[in-house]
A and B are shown apart, each in its own frame.
Chain A
């Protein structure tokens, strides 16, 4: 499945957060590539800058914070792109799955309206029966009954919300999906259920995914390749198997040893 063509090239990406005059480098000059159809895991403790990478790729880092370096997508640099051009990439080409624990769905609108605004604005589908058909299809892909489209976010469980977020991200058949801790709030059984649904839908659409998490076992389960981050820098990257078999860095070794302890 994994090709050799890079869909996303990140070069020397740095992100600076500033608040009340103080500046903090959240991501420090990192570089990596994402290949077509590949699942790339980004692991690290909280505060390592994982989520920031996702935000930088979506172009939602708000001033006075800013990013430098290059995020090349389709031959163009996402950093420094204006909102108009970013909006043509956002959700058409690159989508994002937010944490379920984050309240990422509009609380006062039904699931249907969440889908409909994307169908209208991003895919130009205004026809009612056509959009209903699309919503039913995409809900079926994540094993949800079609009745949930009338629900409001607060009426659903964490696992259901998470699957809604996945189907929202997959409905436009994007080239890249950024999943930011998509299963953090879920129990282990639901977590692997959701992850296998995610893998299946990715395979069906041929999309690549950047899978951001602090949970190493789920990366081993999901990712083809992985990046280990600590304090804003990449300490190790390579295929998941290689890293788990023979971690080179001190931090990675510690991380992998927790995995082995669980096994034993």
Chain B
């Protein structure tokens, strides 16, 4: 069966409809959750305005702000405006940031997105590659000393909190050895070399903390299919070691591809610890700052973009699988 035939039109339609449903659910939740939070956005905003401009009268300002942001409207009308601005406008309009007036919230988030994606994509490709390599090697050495000592170490690293690992790495590489910066020396629009220099330590940390996960999954999958008949047949063929290994790697990619994309989705939500430790101007930092400052438009825009990335990476995982596994076809 050729690759194109492995996807039926029906399946793709089904998958896209499913994705749309998740998208709509995310959009609705992003509207609901900030409105369930305690406090009043307008009070907060106005008290900040008054702190900077003491001549403003409270009640008048409150009315004006509520009118400006449509907060005096019934909730259904607010929802209608929200949907019109988010779903039917491109780029989605979440309003301007409370913190940086005149700057649309979506722009603030989109400026930060490349840094987060760079960190996650580079670290995950490295971690996945290492995981496949180490996992297959350990599976081939099952019950030997190298495997028996490696596996507990991998579990240990796997259960080490990433922020603790990051602090130790900063202590060693930045404060003792002075090799890599503890706070990233770049911001939007810095040169590539500066960005790569600042990114090195965060990437290393994410790689170290995610390699064990990939490795352990690939190791156990490989151990499973080393018992299978076709591996016995391959060994009987007396192929070169490198050929045999490539064939094992080719097969072990399959169970790990889902893990790769799951890890990707997990990280896009969980990487903010690393970002805020290094003051890396990525999505996590933007969302945390916004949350501390009650910058609701930016929180909403941040959650929105995060959801989009997660939804797309899940869709990619589903659609990529048949390319790698000829047995799978989606009908």
Contacts and interface: CB of A to CB of B under 8 A. Distances in A.
B319 to A, nearest CB: 17
Contact of B243 (A89, A102, A108, A121): A121
A239 interface: no
B324 interface: yes
Q: Which applies to chain B's interface (DSSP): helix, strand, loop or mixed?
A: helix
A87 to B, nearest CB: 4
A154 B6 CA distance: 14
Contacts of B238: 86-92, 121-122
Interface string B300-331: 00000000000000000000000011110000
A152 B237 contact: no
B183 to A, nearest CB: 46
Interface stretch (B156-164, B166-174, B228-236, B281-289): B228-236
A108 B254 contact: yes
A108 B324 CA distance: 8
A154 B325 CA distance: 11
A98 B250 contact: no
A120 interface: yes
Interface residues of B, number: 22
A98 B250 CA distance: 22
Given A152-B326, A154-B327, A155-B1, A106 B251 contact: yes
A121 B239 contact: yes
B1 to A, nearest CB: 6
A109 B247 contact: yes
Contacts of B236: 58, 60, 90-91, 95-96, 98
Contacts of B239: 87, 91, 117-118, 121-122
Nearest to A168: B237
Interface centre among B235, B240, B254 (most CB of A within 10 A): B235
A238 interface: no
A105 interface: yes
Interface in A66-102: 86-92, 95-96, 98, 102
Contacts of B325: 108
Interface in A90-140: 90-92, 95-96, 98, 102-110, 117-118, 120-122
A121 B239 CA distance: 6
Q: Which 6 A-B pairs have the closest CB atoms?
A: A90-B238, A87-B238, A102-B229, A104-B233, A152-B326, A58-B236
7 contacts: A104-B229, A104-B230, A104-B232, A104-B233, A108-B250, A108-B327, A122-B238
Interface of B: 1, 228-230, 232-240, 243, 247, 250-251, 254, 324-327
Interface of A: 58, 60, 86-92, 95-96, 98, 102-110, 117-118, 120-122, 152, 154-155
